[in-house]
Amino acid sequence: MRRLTIPAIRQRKKDGVTAEPVVMLTAYTARQAQLLDAHCDLLLVGDSLGQVIYGLPSSLPVTLDMMVAHGAAVGRGSWHAAVIVDLPFGTYEASPQQAFETAARVLRETGCAGVKLEGGVAMAETLAFLSQRGIPVMGHIGLTPQAVNQLGGYGARGRSAAEAEKIVGDARALAEAGAFAIVIEGVVEPLAVAVTKAVDCPVIGIGGSAQCDGQVLVTEDMLGMFERVPRFVKRYADVAGLISDAAAHYAAEVRDRSFPGIEQTYQPKA
Ligand code: KIV
Ligand code: NA
């Protein structure tokens, strides 16, 4: 299976219509990537790894070194999906030049196909700068977790007409700047639909609408690894339950000495 290209994903949406929705999930490790790869068009090495893998309180402390290490692991574990790596907080916002240096390092050291950055109108110039220099960029608007301190929390965005209008403007600015796709997160559904209709590039929803051009979820969320998840998460498995059941079973067998059994021990040759 040849790896999907960014132009192929961009071309999924033709004349405003996306016949085959774009399937995206996050991946942070090589093994996770191997398991998800055949099912996905895009694998996102999200800065959500801060909370999901490292137990951090938000994505803000995530470093570029973390993103590069996990991005390279996901690259090694995939062969079909295009891999996108998030630019972490503080590594791209200051200037287009800063963003280019950061994104170029990510592409060099991970072999990924493109990067994602958060922000709308304010990041359009930066997005164009990268895109014109050979770096495919995915935008991310609506609920942008790196701006949590300014937004005041992780609640849904676009409830007021003024905010909805601003977010449509963000989408237009990013699309015009050359975004190959845009993630829209945590917005009221009519706004997700309006943004999808407003731009030519694929719009990928998370807490958006089934009418978006594709969907993304944090893999650990949809696997049922966490007790508390946002409303927009659907749990497709109960992996937390499987892990704690397996650990409890193992612990009981260690304590009653039924593990290891004959099958798990090396016996002298007869
Ligand atoms: O970091 C992340 O996982 C993301 C997706 C949820 C879009 O940015
Ligand atoms: Na992210």
What CATH number is associated with residue 53?
Answer: 3.20.20.60
Ligand 1 touching residue 206 (CB < 6 A) = yes
Domain region containing 98: 6-238
Q: Give the ligand 1 atom nearest the CA of 52.
A: 3
Based on the residue annotation, tell me whether 185 is a catalytic residue of this protein.
yes
Among the options 163, 185, 227, 253, which is catalytic?
185
Nearest to 120 by CA among 83, 158, 152: 158
List per-residue pLDDT tens for the chain, 270 residues long: 689 999 999 999 999 999 999 999 999 999 999 999 999 999 999 999 999 999 999 999 999 999 999 999 999 999 999 999 999 999 999 999 999 999 999 999 999 999 999 999 999 999 999 999 999 999 999 999 999 999 999 999 999 999 999 999 999 999 999 999 999 999 999 999 999 999 999 999 999 999 999 999 999 999 999 999 999 999 999 999 999 999 999 999 999 999 999 999 999 998
Which stretch of DSSP H or E encloses residue 181?
A: strand 181-185
- Assess if residue 250 is contained within a domain: no
Task: Let me know if residue 263 belongs to a domain.
Answer: no
Q: What are the φ and ψ backbone dihedral angles of 129, each rounded to 5 degrees? A: -60, -45
pLDDT, tens digit (0-9, with 9 covering 90-100), for 101-148? 999 999 999 999 999 999 999 999 999 999 999 999 999 999 999 999
- How many distinct structural domains can be found in the chain? 1
CA distance 169 to 191: 12
H or E, element range at 114: strand 114-116
Structure tokens at 84: 């996108």
On whether residue 121 sits in a domain, the answer given is: yes
What single-letter DSSP state applies at residue 121?
G
Query: Which residues does 180 contact at the CB level (< 8 Å), separation at least 6?
Result: 6, 7, 9, 10, 114, 131, 136, 137, 138, 201, 202
Of 215, 209, 161, which is closest to residue 189 (Cα–Cα)? 209
Question: Is the CB of residue 6 less than 8 Å from the CB of residue 136?
Answer: yes
